[in-house]
Amino acid sequence: MPRSCVFLALVLAAGGCGPSGPQCVPVSGRVTLDGANPPGPGTIYFTPESAGSDGVPLRPATGDFDADGTYSAKSFTPGDGLLPGKYVIRVDCYKTPPNMEGKPVVSYLPPRYRNPSESGLTLTVEPGAKPVRFNLDLLSR
């Protein structure tokens, strides 16, 4: 293959990279259960409620938290945040996580938090927003 074709292919491939697309807004915070640190590590799942303003579906994101409850949301790379839009949220924090051994799954959280349509947790990220501090104060009842 001629060098000019290889160069052209690289230029075209790189054309989709970079800051031309939507920019993530950093989102971080702390998860608490009844006002205290969560009983173990877990994950927050941010699911787009609808497509973006351009009609393209938004990217879901996650935020892993440790026993101290702190997290930073990740859409593409650790800590990059969320694309602008409205998100429904679910939270997992398992004593016994889903497994291949057939052990019963045991969660520290009530079932409603594991279902984004029942959790009552939402977040709207505005385009161009400054970093967002989003704390989740969960209840065991």
* Residue boundaries of the structural domains of the chain: 27-138
What pLDDT was estimated at residue 56?
65
The pLDDT tens digits for 81-97 are: 999 999 999 999 999 88
Given its phi and psi angles, is residue 103 left (phi above 0), alpha (psi -120 to 50 degrees) or beta? beta
What pLDDT was estimated at residue 21?
62
pTM (global) more than 0.85? no
6 confidence band (pLDDT: 50, 70, 90): very low
Q: Give the residue carrying structure tokens 């969560």.
A: 38
- Residues 6 or more apart whose CB falls under 8 angstroms from that of 140 comprise 33, 34, 108, 109, 110
